[in-house]
Amino acid sequence: MARPRAFDENEVLDAAVRCFWTRGYEATSVRDLASSMGLTGASLYNAFGDKHALYERALERYVDESVADRIRRLEDPAVAPRAAICGFFDEIMERSLADPDMKGCMVVNAAVELGPHDPQMRAAAARTLGAIEAFFRGRVAAGQGDGSIGRHQTAEDFGRMLLGVLLGLRVLSRIRPERALLEGVLRPALAALDPA
């Protein structure tokens, strides 16, 4: 009979998220992970497999706790479509400006660091970015339906533009987390949604 785990899986995964998110995949050692998670190296391997498998789990946890949660909340029919888009960016802006470690977005970091040579991580990042694009596209289509967003571009193109703006903000926030800069990127993008 297997012994029950003597740790809270969500807590140790959260510690792994913080470690990978702060340092990146390559710069994070198994020793760093074990120390931050409060586990021995053997316990870490027994519970999560190798470093790559743990990174996959940590990235899933990050997506569930941040990206997927934000989308779920803002897709609520009680939130007006344009307000949902603005709310998404407001949360990103505040999160980026409040981060003293300038970590950016773990999904974007994974896409840039591992995506070019790791098909699994490329696919995982692409799924998440696809979900964000679908959120934007859906909110734009709903806003075009209620008249709060212009019809001078398709919902698909607006969705792609907003995804590009988001990625730009997340990368800029890693090197120049300045409110004026980030708002200057976002303001004209949101103005482009205005009805003609």
pLDDT at 2 over 60: no
What is the domain count for the chain? Answer: 1
pLDDT at 3 over 50: no
Residue 158 domain-assigned (yes or no): yes
Residue 166 domain-assigned (yes or no): yes
* Residue ranges making up the domain that contains 106: 58-191
60-67 mean pLDDT? 96
50-67 mean pLDDT? 95
HEC-encoded secondary structure of the chain: CCCCCCCCHHHHHHHHHHHHHHHCCCCCCHHHHHHHHCCCHHHHHHHHCCHHHHHHHHHHHHHHHHHHHHHHHHCCCCCCHHHHHHHHHHHHHHHHHCCCCCCCCHHHHHHHHCCCCCHHHHHHHHHHHHHHHHHHHHHHHHHHHHCCCCCCCCHHHHHHHHHHHHHHHHHHHHHCCCHHHHHHHHHHHHHCCCCC
Structure confidence at residue 5 (pLDDT): 53
Q: What is the CATH number of the domain that holds 180?
A: 1.10.357.10
Structure confidence at residue 43 (pLDDT): 83
Name the band, by pLDDT with cuts 50, 70 and 90, for residue 42: confident
Residue 53 domain-assigned (yes or no): no
pLDDT at 146 over 90: yes
Residue 24 domain-assigned (yes or no): no
Residue 42 domain-assigned (yes or no): no
172-183 mean pLDDT? 96
Residue 4 domain-assigned (yes or no): no
